[in-house]
Amino acid sequence: MTGFESKEQFLEVFNRFWAKAKEQTEVMEKLAKSQVVVRFDIEDPEVHMTINFRDPGPDGEIGTLTFDSDVEPEISVWSKSEITNKFWQGKLNTTVAMARGQVKLDGSVAKALGLLSKIKPLYDIYPTILKEMGLDSMML
């Protein structure tokens, strides 16, 4: 499995991914109704990524992506970057990954599982971003 080479690479991939994801207005509207803040604590490389569906961002929109935010999350998810890569391609069985300790979750499991069903359409965007960036080696 392949993770990210650097924090900079991770940031570039996810900034591009989130810009495309925000174009999926139906998905974003469903996520905005959740009013949840999720922080992803990633290792190898170390990155702290927060997706905030509670507080409006600088552009007034709900659904901001930030790095190293001090906003308190309702849900925190820990994994290594290779697992994050697999997750966003829709290739990770989250329940099995949690049982194996590949993913650790703090916060409401029910709310986290509810989000999983809402974000499924975004799984098609992520591999497209990898391909556009020439990161074919990260595709599963």
Return the pLDDT at 58: 84
Does the pLDDT of residue 1 top 90, yes or no?
no
C-alpha–C-alpha distance, residues 87 and 138, integer Å = 12
Return the pLDDT at 109: 85
Does the pLDDT of residue 131 top 90, yes or no?
yes
C-alpha–C-alpha distance, residues 26 and 41, integer Å = 27
Say what the pTM is: 0.93
In CATH, the architecture of 7-138 is 2-Layer Sandwich (3.30)
The mean pLDDT value of the chain amounts to: 94
Does the pLDDT of residue 5 top 90, yes or no?
yes
